Chain A
């Protein structure tokens, strides 16, 4: 079980968090302007890299805030956490 450093509460047990998949996938400005392919990309397709991955977590059993993290999906090491709205920090993989 990982220790996840919530940017609001500090390190907490993984069991307190809810996973939210890839970060920085914005809801389209105007969905009606998208082709079916583009819309499908938004709805179903996500990056799935082996290595650093910017992803969303929610501290659901704590402050209930969503935040972003960069995690290495091979080692599961959290390389950075940052608050929603902040840009993804540079991390060394």
Chain B
């Protein structure tokens, strides 16, 4: 008898973390216990030896976008600045399972970004060439090549928006989001980081232009430095110190099907047809939709977005017709004007900002965790996050990843 389809998945460790009461003070308080917050804590402890750290999470650890994203990992961005930080991240992904001692199911199954118009083709080739010169694996594949990599993609020329080719990054892939977060949390905890859940930050205290403490639903916590890793809630937190951010928080929906036998060996993304899909380790199809157009903190989007998503998915994958939608949900993504993040210092001493990742945050988790920890430890940006300052919106030195980087997921 063949083994049952779910038999091969790894077990979680028997111990993850403790649930301590917050101490009165920490060297560093990280606001937001998602992937970025946990990774930042981990690298602060591991690389910089800073362990008197608390991660404050208003809900449950990694329960926000970390728990809600579609786990695509890739580094094939257009601009040098983006390539730098995303490729740094991808390299860390490649050693992360060993680093954390946690089975994160990182699977380098490759990603195809489809081109559907002649301009898509030009943009794609441009990106492939830029990637290669930046040392990132990338190739342009024609429709036959797409079919070879992912046989279920409809490459017929007779569809509404035929597939004219794709960029392919073989080292891209997926990972299991919860496992990643828990791996970071467990390792950070083991090095002395306090993980405080159900602890909402309600105020930021400053004195003489420097951060001094955070007010929380569990009392005041003094802090030498405070690092914001709050994704969709960044604007709300920044406003507590009078800082305005160029962000809009939008609902972003995603969905899964029931468990299906393997049909989809890679990750496929299409900007023009608005779909991105992979098949997770247990067999469910995981799919993301476009962002809902309006600002929203409700972790809920509109259903017509899902319907459009399905119509797009079936254009590309007719085989999905009788797959079933099992569950839909939404996260809150913080979208910046140039679809690039904001990571660095703020006008308030000791307050650091990491936000604006939009739909691209998951893949950046190890990379930004490492760079943000460096920024906090040295009070100076790491070279990889140096281009992603808040000041770029004043000087005009934007890193515009809308135009040519396909869907910014």
Contact = CB atoms under 8 A, between A and B. Distances in A.
Contacts of B198: none
Interface stretch (B182-190, B242-250, B259-267, B268-276): B242-250
Interface in B139-162: none
Contact of A45 (B233, B246, B297, B304): B246
Contact of B293 (A18, A36, A50, A73): A18
Contacts, number: 63
B255 to A, nearest CB: 16
Contacts of A2: 302
Chain A: number of interface residues, binned into ranges? 20 to 34
Contacts of A10: none
Contacts of B236: 48-50
B2 interface: no
B293 A19 contact: yes
A55 B295 contact: yes
A46 interface: yes
Given A44-B246, A45-B244, A50 B303 contact: no
B283 interface: no
Given A37-B394, A40-B394, A48 B245 contact: yes
Given A14-B304, A18-B293, A74 B244 contact: no
A73 B298 contact: yes
Interface in B53-91: none
Interface in B288-333: 293-298, 300, 302-304
B395 interface: yes
A28 B298 CA distance: 32
Nearest to B334: A48
Interface residues of B, number: 25
A76 B294 CA distance: 9
A71 interface: yes
Contacts of A76: 294, 296, 298, 300
Interface in A30-79: 36-37, 40-41, 43-50, 53, 55, 71, 73-76
A76 B292 CA distance: 12
Contacts of A19: 293-294
Contacts of B239: 49
A1 B293 CA distance: 12
25 contacts: A1-B302, A1-B303, A1-B304, A14-B302, A15-B304, A19-B293, A21-B248, A21-B295, A36-B394, A36-B395, A40-B394, A45-B244, A46-B246, A47-B244, A48-B235, A48-B245, A48-B247, A48-B249, A49-B235, A49-B236, A50-B233, A55-B294, A71-B294, A76-B296, A76-B300
Instruction: List the 5 shortest-distance A-B pairs measured between CB atoms, nearest first.
Output: A48-B235, A19-B293, A44-B246, A40-B394, A50-B297
